Amino acid sequence: MRRLALILALALAPAALAQDEAFPLYPDPGLPRAPAPENVSRPEAEQPAEQVVVGLSSDSVAITASFDGSDILIYGAIRRETPIPDTPLHVIVTVEAPSQALTVWRKARRAGIWINTERVEVGAAPSYYAVASTGPLDQILDPAWDARYRISLPQAMRAFEGALEVRDTVPFTEALLRLREAEGRFLLDEGGVHLAEETLFRADIALPATLVEGEYKTRIFLVRDGQVIDVHRAPIMVRKVGLERWLYRLAFDQPLLYGLMSLAVAVLAGWGASAAFRKLRRA
Amino acid sequence: MQIYLPIAEVSVNAFTLIGLGGLVGLMSGLFGVGGGFLITPLLFFIGIPPAIAVATGANQVVASSVSGVLAHMKRRTVDFRMGGVLLAGGLVGSALGVLVFNVLQRLGQVELVVQLCYVVFLGLIGTMMLQESIRALRRARNPAAPRRKLHDHMWVHRLPLKVKFRASGLYISVIPPLLVGLAVGVLAAIMGVGGGFIMVPAMIYLLGMPTKVVVGTSLFQITFVTAFTTLMHAVSYNTVDVMLAVLLIVGGVVGAQIGTSLGARLRAEQLRILLALLVLAVCGKLALDLFLPPEDLYSIVVRAR
C-alpha cells in the first residue's frame, strides 16, 4: 500500500510541475503563442446562464488639436434566466490599444559611464492597456483563464522575438510593466468596476493624452468561481480629426510636399518676424 | 493650454513650447548659435520621441537662423563666399550624418554617442573660449601688454587651393573651411543641432576670421544645412512635426530679434564669456548624467512603425 502511494506521488509530481509551467507568470521567451480564443468554446444550443449586455459612452475617440486625454464610461447589465447563484459574480473590463514592437534596454557601467548593454526585443506590446475589475485579479480569476484570455498586464504582453541576448528575461518584462505603469500607459484598477445587485455595472477608464491611432479593443468578462462565463467585445475607434488628420496624412503620403511646407512655414515666420521688428524699431 | 502634436502623438503644453522657443531664439540672436544644443535635450525632457525632437529641432533652427541672418545681412556682416564653401561641406556632412544616425539607432547607442559628443565638444570649446576671453579682458585692462596679431599663421594657411575671402580679409585654402563645414554637417544630423557652437570657435580660432563676420556667416551656413536636414528627415523618416515646429518658431523668432539687438549693444568679450559659461554648464550637466547611476537601469524604445 505504501509502495502504491509512492508510485502515485511520483506520477503526480511531474504533472503538478507541468501544470505550473503551463501558466508561467510571464510569457515563454522565444515562443510565439497561439492567438487568444475569440469566444468560449461551447455548443451553440448551450447558452451561458448569465450574459453581459454592454453600453459604451462613445464608440470613437476623436483626437483634435486640443486633445488632452479622455474618459470613457463602460456600463452594462447582466441578463439571466435563472436565479442568481450563491457564489459571487465578478466583472473585469479591459481596454487594449494597437500593439507596437519594442526594445527594452538595460544599462550597465562600462569604463565609468552608464551605457545600454543588454536588450530584450518584445514582438508586440499594446501601447496602452487598462484592466479594471470588481476585485483583486489574483483572487477572482483562475490563472488558467487569465492565460487563455490574456487578461492581466503580464499576460497581455506578447511573446519575445528573435534570439535572446540575456538568460533571464523576467527583470526586463517587469521593467516594461513598471515603466509603462509610471507613464500611465498600463493601468490596473482593481475595484474600478462597480457592480450593483449582481446585475448592473459601470467602469470609468481614463485614456491618456499620448494616444496612438487605431482600433482599441474593449472586453468585458463575467467571472464566477474564477472562471470566465461570458465575454463581450466592442471596438473603440481612435482617430485624428481635422487639422491633425490632414497634417498626419500629408506627412506620410506626400513627405516631400510636407517637408517643403514645414520649411516654408519656418522661413516665412523667420522673415516675417525680422520685417516686423524692423518696422517696430523705425516707428 | 494643452495641444496634441499630430506626428509625435503626444499632448504637451503650448506655452511651454513657446517659452522654450523664445529662450533658444534669444541664444540664436545673441551668440549666432542655432540653439539646437539646448532645444534637442529640452524636447527629450518634455517627452518628445528622440527622432522627432532631432528633426523638428532642425526645422525650428531654420526659422530662427533666417531671421538672424537677415538681421546680419542688413548690417553687412555675412561673408557669402566663405558661407558658400562652408555650406558645400555642410550638405555632404549632413547626408553622412543621417546615415550614421540610423546605424546608431539600430545599435541602441544613439543617446550615448550624442551625449558623449556633447560632453567632449562642449567641454573643449567652452574651456578654450573662456581662456581666450579672460586673456582678452586682461589685455583690455592693461593696454601696455603686447597686442596679438590679427590672426596666427598656422599650418592651415599653407594648404593649396587658396581663395580670397574679401569680407573676412583672408587669403586661405578652401580645404579647411570645407572640412569645418563637413564636420559641422555630420554633427548637425547626429546631434540635432545647427552646429554653430562648433563652427563659431572653429572660424575664429582655426580659420582666423574676424569676429564681426563670424556670427552672420555661421547663421548663413546653418540656415541652409538645417533646411536640408529637415527635408531629409521629413522625406525618409516622416519625423518632422510641423505643429511642434510652429510653436517653437513663434517663440523663437521673437527671441532671435531681441537677442540680435541685445548682441549689438554688448561687447564681444563679455558675449564670449557668457557663451563659454553657458557651454560649460550644459557640458557639466550632460557629463553628470553619464557618470551618475541612472534613475532607472531600464528603458523602452519603440521600434519604427
Digit-coded pLDDT (tens) for A12-61: 444 443 333 333 333 444 444 444 555 544 444 456 677 888 887 777 88
Mean pLDDT of B56-81: 82
Confidence (pLDDT) at A26: 39
Question: Which residue in B57, B138, B129, B110 sits closest to B281, CA to CA?
Answer: B129
Q: Check CB contact of B131 with chain A, cutoff 8 Å.
A: no
Interface residue of A128, A274, A278 to substitute, partner B, most B CBs within 10 Å: A274
Which spans in chain A are helix H? 2-22, 137-140, 143-149, 153-156, 170-182, 242-253, 255-282
**A57 near A72, Cβ under 8 Å?**
yes
Nearest CA distance, A189 vs chain B (angstrom): 23
Instruction: Verify whether the Cβ–Cβ distance A255 to B238 is below 8 Å.
Output: yes
Which pLDDT band holds residue B89 (cuts at 50, 70, 90)?
very high
Lowest mean pLDDT among A59-63, A64-68, A204-208: A64-68
Q: What pLDDT, on a 0 to 100 scale, did the predictor assign at position A24?
A: 38
- pLDDT > 80? residue A98: yes
Query: Residue A207 phi/psi, 5° resolution?
Result: -95, 135
DSSP B235: H
Show the 3-state SS of A247-264: HHHHHHHCHHHHHHHHHH
B5-26: average pLDDT: 84
Which segment of A35-39, A96-100, A263-267, B244-248 scores lowest on mean pLDDT?
A: A35-39
- A124-138, A174-188, B30-44, B168-182: the lowest-pLDDT one: B30-44
φ, ψ of residue B173 to 5 degrees: the values are: -70, 150
Which residues, in sequence order, are bridge partners of residue A104?
A120, B300
Give the mutation candidate from A238, A239, A262, A274 for the B interface (greatest B CB count, under 10 A).
A262
- The domain segmentation of chain B, as residue ranges, is 2-291
CB atoms within 10 A of CB B201: 22
Q: Mean pLDDT lowest for which of A135-139, A148-152, B36-40, B226-230?
A: B36-40
Confidence band for A264, pLDDT divided at 50, 70 and 90: very high
* CB < 8 Å to B4, chain A: 63-68, 209, 244
Residue A173's contacts (CB-CB under 8 Å, 6 or more residues apart) are A26, A104, A120, A154, A157
Average pLDDT value for residue range A247-271:
88
Does residue A214 carry a pLDDT above 80?
Answer: yes
Quote the pLDDT of residue A158.
Answer: 59
Residue bearing cell 484598477: A189
Contacts of A187 (CB under 8 A, 6+ apart): A129, A130, A131, A132, A181, A205, A206
pLDDT bucket at B287, cuts 50 / 70 / 90: confident
Which three three-digit cell numbers place residue B245? 515646429
How far A264 CA sits from the closest chain B CA (Å)?
9
B245 contacts on A by Cβ (under 8 Å): 262, 265-266
Q: What is the pLDDT of residue B87?
A: 92
> Residue B91: pLDDT band by 50, 70, 90 thresholds?
very high
Average pLDDT of every residue of chain A: 76
What residues form DSSP beta bridges with A55?
A: A75
Name residues whose C-beta falls within 8 Å of residue B205's C-beta, 6 or more positions apart in sequence.
B128, B132
Q: How far is A112 from chain B (nearest CA, A)?
A: 6
Q: Which of B6, B227, B257 sits opposite A277 (nearest CB)?
A: B257
Do residues A221 and A149 make contact, with C-beta atoms less than 8 angstroms apart? yes
- Cβ atoms A137, A194 nearer than 8 A: no
3-state secondary structure of B292: coil
B124-133 confidence digits (pLDDT tens): 878 877 887 7
CA neighbor of A184 nearest in space, from A209, A218, A204: A209
**C-alpha span between A183 and A179 (Å, rounded):** 6
- Partners of residue B116 in chain A, C-beta under 8 Å: 113
Average pLDDT, chain B: 80
Asked which of A42-56, B16-30, B198-212 is least confident by mean pLDDT, the reply is: A42-56
Cβ of residue B150 closer than 8 Å to a chain A Cβ: no
Which pLDDT does position A23 carry in this prediction?
A: 37
- Check B70 against A271: CB less than 8 A apart: yes
For residue B254, what pLDDT is reported? 81
Is the Cβ pair B257, A274 closer than 8 Å? yes
A20, A24, A28, A31 alpha-carbon torsion, rounded to 10°? 60
Assign B202 a pLDDT band (cuts: 50, 70, 90).
confident
Q: What is the pLDDT of residue B88?
A: 92
**CB of B294 within 8 Å of any CB in chain A?**
yes
Cα separation of A258 and A268, whole Å?
A: 15
* pLDDT at site B92: 93
Q: Are residues A107 and B299 in contact, defined by beta-carbon separation less than 8 angstroms?
A: yes
Q: How would CATH label the architecture of A18-240?
A: Sandwich (2.60)
Residues of A in Cβ contact (< 8 Å) with B63: 265-267, 269-270
Going by pLDDT thresholds of 50, 70 and 90, the confidence category of residue B291 is: confident
Grid coordinates of B141: 585692462
- Quickly count: other Cβ atoms within 10 Å of residue A44's Cβ: 5
Contact: B9, A116; criterion CB under 8 Å: no
pLDDT digits (tens, 9 = 90+) for A99-115: 888 888 888 888 888 88
For position B5, what pLDDT does the model report?
84
Mean local confidence (pLDDT), B192-216: 81
Residues in chain B: 305
- Whether B298 has a pLDDT exceeding 70, the answer reads yes
Nearest CB to A262 within list B4, B10, B234: B234
Taking residues B159-163, report their average pLDDT: 73
Q: Which residue of A has its CA nearest to B57?
A: A266
Q: What is the DSSP string of B16-46?
A: HHHHHHHHHHHHHHHHS--SHHHHHHHHHHT
Q: Say whether pLDDT at B292 is over 70.
A: yes
Q: Does residue A164 have a pLDDT over 50?
A: yes
Give the H or E element holding residue A71: strand A70-80
Inter-chain contact B243–A260, Cβ cutoff 8 Å? Answer: no
Q: Which long-range CB contacts under 8 A does A164-170 form with residues at least 24 apart?
A: A164/A29, A164/A30, A164/A120, A165/A118, A165/A119, A165/A120, A166/A106, A166/A118, A166/A119, A166/A120, A169/A26, A169/A29, A169/A120, A170/A25, A170/A26
Contact assessment for residue B243 and residue B3, using Cβ atoms and an 8 Å cutoff: yes
Sequence letter at residue A134: T
Report the pLDDT value the prediction gives residue A36, as an integer from 0 to 100. 53
Contact criterion met (CB < 8 Å) for B11 and A104: no
Tell me which chain B residues have a C-beta less than 8 angstroms from the C-beta of A172: 298
Of B124, B206, B216, give the one whose Cα is nearest residue B157: B206
pLDDT at A184 over 90: no
* B contact test, residue of A128, A250, A263 with most B CBs within 10 A: A263
Mean pLDDT over B270-275 rounds to 77
The predicted model gives B59-77 an average pLDDT of 81
ipTM reported for the complex surpasses 0.90: no
**Which pLDDT belongs to residue A139?**
85
* Residue scoring higher pLDDT (A258 or A64): A258
Nearest CA in chain A to B8: A210
Contact: A108, B250; criterion CB under 8 Å: no
Q: Which helix (H) or strand (E) holds A108?
A: strand A99-110
The answer on pLDDT for B101 being more than 90 is: no
User: What number of C-beta contacts closer than 8 Å exist between A and B?
Assistant: 191
**CB distance B290–A176 less than 8 Å?**
no
Give the best-scoring range by mean pLDDT among B103-117, B126-140, B238-252.
Answer: B238-252
* Nearest residue in chain B measured CA to CA from A280: B257
B250 neighbourhood in chain A, CB within 8 Å? 269
Cα distance between residue B173 and residue B160, in whole Å: 6
Which residue from B minimizes the CA distance to A171? B298
Q: To which H or E segment does residue B72 belong?
A: helix B50-74
B residues 91-130 near A, CB within 8 Å?
108-109, 111-112, 116
Q: Which of residues 248-277 of B touch A (CB under 8 A)?
A: 249-250, 253-254, 256-257, 261
Among B4, B62, B299, select the one facing A267 at the smallest CB separation: B62
Cα nearest neighbour of A210 on chain B: B10
**Mean per-residue pLDDT, B219-235:** 88
Confidence label for B238 from pLDDT (cuts 50, 70 and 90): confident
Query: Given an 8 Å threshold on Cβ–Cβ distance, is B303 in contact with A100?
Result: yes
CB atoms B257 and A258 under 8 Å: no
Q: What percent of chain A has pLDDT over 90?
A: 4
Question: What is the pLDDT averaged over residues A246-260?
Answer: 88
Quote the minimal CA–CA distance from A203 to chain B in Å.
Answer: 25
Q: Which residues of B touch A116 (CB under 8 A)?
A: 108-109, 111-112, 299
**Residue B77 contacts residue B219 (beta carbons within 8 Å):** no
